[in-house]
Amino acid sequence: MLRGAMPDAVRTSEEDLAGLPDYPFAPRYREVDGLRVAHIDEGEGAPVIFMHGEPTWSYLWRKVIPPVRDAGFRCIAPDLVGFGASDKPTDIDWYTYDRHVAMASTLLDDLDLRAATMVVHDWGGPIGLRLAVEHPERIERLVILDTGLFTGHQRMTDAWQAFRDFVERTEDLPVGFLVRGACKKDPGDEVIAAYDAPFPSVASKAGARAFPLLIPRSPDAPGAPAGQRVQQALREDRRPTLILWADSDPCFRRRWASASPPRSAGHLRGLSRTRATSSRRTRGR
C-alpha cells in the first residue's frame, strides 16, 4: 500500500443510497489504511469482478449482476475509493493511479479471490487490467468494455480534451449530468439521481474530478510507464478475453483495443465491429 497520513474524507451514509431503483444490494465494508471501502458481493461460484469507471460506481452493474449471479457466479463489484459507498478523500492530490491500483488490490487479497473473471469499463480498465497482470494467479479471464491503457502515446480525442478542461475548472462536478450525456438513451431522472446520490457535497467529488487529470499526456508522465508495462504484458498474455466496444465512442477509439488485450490487432478489429454495443459510450447506464 501507499501509506501516508490518513486523509480527510467524506463518508456517504447508507441512507443516502437506500431505495435506489434496481439496486437492492447491500454494501459490504473493509477498512483499508483508515478508509472504509465498499463492495457488493452477491451469489456463489467462480468470482466475477466488475470494475466501474468515471464518474460511476457499482450502481453501473445493477442490471448485469442478477443474471450473472443467477447463472452460478459470485459477483463482486467494488466502489473505488472516492466513489459510491466508499469513503471519499477530499484532497484531489491524494488520488493517483498507483494508489487506486494498490487500494483495489486489497480486495483480491482480503477476499482471497482466485480463478476470477475481471470485467472492466472506462477507468476500471487501467486499474483492473493492471491487477490482472500483477496478480495472474487470481485472474483467469478478462472482459474489456470501452477502455484502454494510458501509456502517454495515445492522442486523446477533442471530446476527451473538452471533458478534461471542463472537469479541471469545475469544482462542483455535475456527476449525473455527465452520465446522462454518455448514454445513448436517457436513463431517466431517477437513475441520474442514483448516480448523484453518493456525492452529497462539493468536497465529496474530488475523486471524480481527479480521474481525467490523471491520464498521462506524454510517455514519461506519472502513470505512463506503468501503463506501458501492462500493455506489453497483455500483448503476450493468452488468457481468454472478450472485448465489447461501442461503435462511435467519443472518448475511447476502437483502435485503442489493439493496444490492450492479448490478441492480434486484426482479430480485435473484427471483434469490435461485430460486438459493437451502441453508437455512444453505453446503451443505458
Which CATH number goes with the domain that contains 20? Answer: 3.40.50.1820
Place of cell 510517455: 219
- What pLDDT band is residue 144 in, cutting at 50, 70 and 90? very high
Work out the mean pLDDT of the chain and round it to a whole number: 87
pLDDT at residue 259 greater than cutoff 70: no
- What pLDDT band is residue 13 in, cutting at 50, 70 and 90? confident
Domain assignment of residue 280, yes or no:
no
- What pLDDT band is residue 285 in, cutting at 50, 70 and 90? low
Domain assignment of residue 2, yes or no:
no
Domain assignment of residue 281, yes or no:
no
- What pLDDT band is residue 19 in, cutting at 50, 70 and 90? very high
pLDDT score for 161: 87
Query: How far is 259 from 265, CA to CA, in rounded Å?
Result: 8
Domain assignment of residue 285, yes or no:
no
pLDDT at residue 158 greater than cutoff 90: no
- Between the alpha carbon of residue 280 and those of residues 162, 175, 179, 183, 262, the distances in Å are 17, 18, 12, 6, 25
Domain assignment of residue 227, yes or no:
yes
> How many structural domains comprise the chain?
1
The pTM of this model reads 0.88
Residues 23-44, mean pLDDT to the nearest whole number? 96
pLDDT score for 1: 55
Domain assignment of residue 100, yes or no:
yes
Residue span of the structural domain in which 63 resides: 9-274
Lowest mean pLDDT among 163-177, 190-204, 243-257, 262-276: 262-276
Domain assignment of residue 284, yes or no:
no
Domain assignment of residue 4, yes or no:
no
